[in-house]
């Protein structure tokens, strides 16, 4: 995000249409969340879309500084397979990833250290981990400092506490929250669409639906897959 660009607030949010010359018929990639644009303030028309640094296919989001993949360490238990699926999607678009490990207040120090050891065995030291608890506010300050003046996607499975975390980072309740089902021990989806929030000046958080909606790019050659497993 350009430091000289206007910061979002209630006074400078504009609902604009895309100039006809920029449209490609039936192409959902015409203009997507995260695009940096130039627009006519009077006509409320987007005149230009800057070249995208990167983007996710599904949900469609552009110009991401990094993805914060949010998983709970417990309730529900951490799922290494699903984490690797999300990691592959990010690697395919060359988008940096950090792990936001939530609900650490539910485990002992020994259990947390055991998780770190297992995670490092698989991923070495290539992925930064932010252990947090929204119940005790542990790790929240460090995470806020890391996302400062960045555009970050926060995504993860239902039940990991994504809505609660985003509310905490923004400082007010902007998303509904839900509990983990005691019967299935799985989370319940509260996010059904991608949403864009400002957490601080020039700091943006993009909320996405659960990982089951993430899609992978189409690869023409199988050998391309090897480059996406950067940690092995």
Per-residue pLDDT of the chain (232 residues; tens, 9 = 90+): 444 455 555 557 888 999 988 888 778 888 988 899 999 989 999 999 999 998 887 778 899 999 999 999 999 999 999 999 888 888 888 889 999 999 999 999 999 999 999 999 999 888 999 999 999 999 999 999 999 999 999 988 888 999 999 999 998 887 876 554 444 444 454 555 678 888 888 889 998 865 444 555 555 555 555 555 555 5
Q: Where are the domain boundaries for CATH 3.40.50.300 in the chain?
A: 52-178+190-229
Phi, psi of 112 (to 5 degrees): -65, -45
Tell me which CATH code domain 52-178+190-229 carries.
3.40.50.300
225 vs 92: CA distance, rounded Å: 8
């Amino acid at each position: 995000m350009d430091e000289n660009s206007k910061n979002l607030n209630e006074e400078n949010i504009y609902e604009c249409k895309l100039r006809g010359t920029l449209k490609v018929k039936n192409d959902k990639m015409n203009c997507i969340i995260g695009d940096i644009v130039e627009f006519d303030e009077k006509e409320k028309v987007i005149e230009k879309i800057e070249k995208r640094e990167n983007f996710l296919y599904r949900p469609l989001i552009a110009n991401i500084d990094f993805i914060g993949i949010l998983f709970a360490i417990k309730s529900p238990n951490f799922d290494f397979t699903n984490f690797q699926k999300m990691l592959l999607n990010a690697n395919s678009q060359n988008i940096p990833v950090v792990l936001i490990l939530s609900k650490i207040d539910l485990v002992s120090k020994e259990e947390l250290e055991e998780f770190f050891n297992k995670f490092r065995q698989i991923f070495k030291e290539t992925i930064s981990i932010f252990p947090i608890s929204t119940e005790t506010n542990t790790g929240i300050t460090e995470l806020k400092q890391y996302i400062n003046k960045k555009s970050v996607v926060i995504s993860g499975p239902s039940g990991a506490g994504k809505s609660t975390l985003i509310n905490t980072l923004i400082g007010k309740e902007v998303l509904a929250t839900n509990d983990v089902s005691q019967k299935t021990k799985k989370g319940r989806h509260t996010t059904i669409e991608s949403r864009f929030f400002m957490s601080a000046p020039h700091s943006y958080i993009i909320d996405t639906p659960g990982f089951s909606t993430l899609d992978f790019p189409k690869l023409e050659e199988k050998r391309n897959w090897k480059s996406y497993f950067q940690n092995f």
